[in-house]
């Protein structure tokens, strides 16, 4: 149903689809969400295609959550939010729309979405 060949995030990893990168290492990529719920809204993904939390390998879990604090600090420094929420949707019913595991980092601002 959700074919790896059609995966938008795999195409972002390969560079076939452009993205605004926030952080990258050998295993992980973080980039700005195309639809910014708040300023600096970022997605952290493993470079390997794993659909969701049920498929996520221990190694990818480690890589993603090791990178998350670095990404959070980069967002904090760049956009000066007052807080950040981490969110992860698994399954269509739970709001997952791209079937390549990702964690949202959602910066929070005292007033509104930060775009002011
Ligand atoms: P989900 O709803 O699966 O938790 O989150 C998927 C997210 O991917 C959405 O917030 C959506 O805006 C974002 N997204 C979908 N397509 C693209 C794209 O081509 N580029 C970027 N940067 N983000 C995308
Ligand atoms: Zn993928």
Ligand nearest to the CA of 13: 2
Per residue in 51-89, pLDDT (tens digit) is 999 999 999 999 999 999 999 999 999 999 999 999 999
pLDDT at 58: 98
Ligand nearest to the CA of 33: 1
> Phi and psi dihedrals of 30, rounded to 5?
-125, 135
| Burial class of residue 33 (count of CB atoms within 10 Å of its CB; 0-12, 13-18, 19+) | middle
The total of structural domains in the chain comes to 1
pLDDT band at residue 35, thresholds of 50, 70 and 90?
very high
Q: How far apart are CA 9 and CA 64, in angstroms?
A: 14
Q: What percent of the chain has pLDDT over 90?
A: 93
96 lines ligand 1 (CB under 6 A): yes
Q: What is the ipTM of this complex?
A: 0.99
pLDDT band at residue 3, thresholds of 50, 70 and 90?
confident
pLDDT at 111: 83
90 lines ligand 1 (CB under 6 A): no
Neighbours of ion ligand 2 (CB under 5 A): 7, 9-10, 49, 100
Catalytic residues: 102
113: CA distance to ligand 2 center in Å?
29
Domain assignment of residue 17, given as a range? 4-108
Identify whether the C-beta of residue 43 lies closer than 8 Å to the C-beta of residue 102. yes
Average pLDDT estimate for 93-114: 96
CATH of the domain at 88: 3.30.428.10
97 lines ligand 1 (CB under 6 A): yes
pLDDT at 1: 64
CA distances from 68 to 4, 19, 37, 98, 116 (A): 24, 18, 18, 19, 26
32 in a structural domain: yes
Q: Can you read off the two tokens belonging to residue 61?
A: 């879990």
34 lines ligand 1 (CB under 6 A): yes
Q: pTM higher than 0.80, yes or no?
A: yes
40 in a structural domain: yes
pLDDT at 31: 98
116 in a structural domain: no
């Amino acid at each position: 149903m959700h074919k790896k060949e059609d995966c938008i995030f795999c195409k972002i990893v390969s560079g076939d689809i452009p993205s605004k990168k926030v952080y990258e290492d050998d295993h992980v990529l973080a980039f700005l969400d195309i639809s910014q719920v708040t300023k600096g809204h970022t997605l952290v993904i493993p470079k390997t295609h794993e659909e969701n939390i049920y498929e996520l390998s221990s190694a990818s879990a480690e890589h993603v959550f090791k990178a998350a604090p670095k990404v959070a600090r980069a967002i904090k420094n760049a956009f000066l939010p007052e807080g950040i929420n981490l969110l992860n949707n698994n399954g269509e019913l739970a709001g997952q729309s791209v079937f390549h595991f990702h964690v949202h980092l959602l910066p929070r601002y005292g007033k509104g979405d930060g775009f002011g």
